[in-house]
Amino acid sequence: MAAADELAFHEFEEATNLLAQTPEATTTRSDQLTPQGHVAVAMGSGGSYGTEDDAEESDKAALLQEEKQQPGFWTFGYYQTFFDVDTSQVLDRIKGSLLPRPGHNFVRHHLRNRPDLYGPFWICATLAFVLAVTGNLTLVLAQKRDPSIHYSPQFHKVTVAGITIYCYAWLVPLALWGFLQWRKGVRERMGPYTFLETVCVYGYSLFVFIPTVVLWLVPIPWLQWLFGALALALSAAGLVFTLWPVVREDTRLAAAVLLSAVVLLHALLAMGCKPLPPELLEPPHQATAQPPNIPLPPTLPKSMAT
């Protein structure tokens, strides 16, 4: 019996030494879990120290795993995120581009730091296809009114329209983004949009020209100009209202020059989309002129020739 009391005394002495070294430790006695009733010393404050460490380690591991899983820009997985949009988001962004108003920023209210390339890609493709189709239909309708106009299918218009529109939708935003990045170094308060946000803004701004090109089939010149002016006003206003919160921190001269260049380039694109009159596209078909009759020298009778 004495031996048992002496063993218990030594166990409590060991626990006391541990508590002296770590004042925040707690002691628990468990006759079932520890052999021979040894005293277990739990390190921690209030029993939650180990739990907090585990939570922090799990959060760090999750963050590291997300960083490792992020694909590089040279892989398809990187660009897949820019096509991850649903129909409601695309329709909301199209509606925002058709109804611009002062104080309503397209990037902040519709993109919400999640630009997509799905909408701009298909808007440019649809606009190029509609331009090619309406260009051919314009000649067909003109031929019915004037049979002297010769119609021949012009499939090259699809290629020309596609190259022009895609170059405009990518090169102009690239130049604009580069200019804003340069001005950011001059004016530190400026916060320009990212390149993909700028491309997204330009891509959705071209949607208004799709129904306008179809309405241009109406053979009334003043009505065509009215439709074109309305489409240009809506599209250019959306760009100006979106860029104004960024360029207003710059000087007045730089802001005026930048916005004027944006509107001018957009006006040139609208003029390029408008079909020319049929007589300028395809001159009337004329038959090839026959060479004039050249009189032959008179022939002598056979009797005189001999």
> 170 vs 45, 87, 203, CA distance in Å?
59, 23, 9
Q: 124 near 169, Cβ under 8 Å?
A: yes
CB atoms inside a 10 Å sphere around CB 289 = 6
pLDDT tens string 214-245:
998 888 889 989 999 999 999 999 999 999 98
> pLDDT tier at 190 (50, 70, 90 boundaries)?
low
For all residues of the chain together, what is the average pLDDT?
A: 74
Which among 10-19, 61-70, 101-110, 168-177 has the top mean pLDDT?
A: 168-177
CA pair distance 155, 13, nearest whole angstrom: 97
Lowest mean pLDDT among 50-59, 218-227, 267-276: 50-59
Report the percent of the chain where pLDDT is more than 70.
Answer: 59
Percent of the chain with pLDDT over 90: 29
- The rounded distance, in Å, linking the Cα atoms of 52 and 193 is 39
Q: What is the pLDDT of residues 139-179, one digit of tens each?
A: 777 777 767 766 677 777 788 889 999 999 999 999 999 98
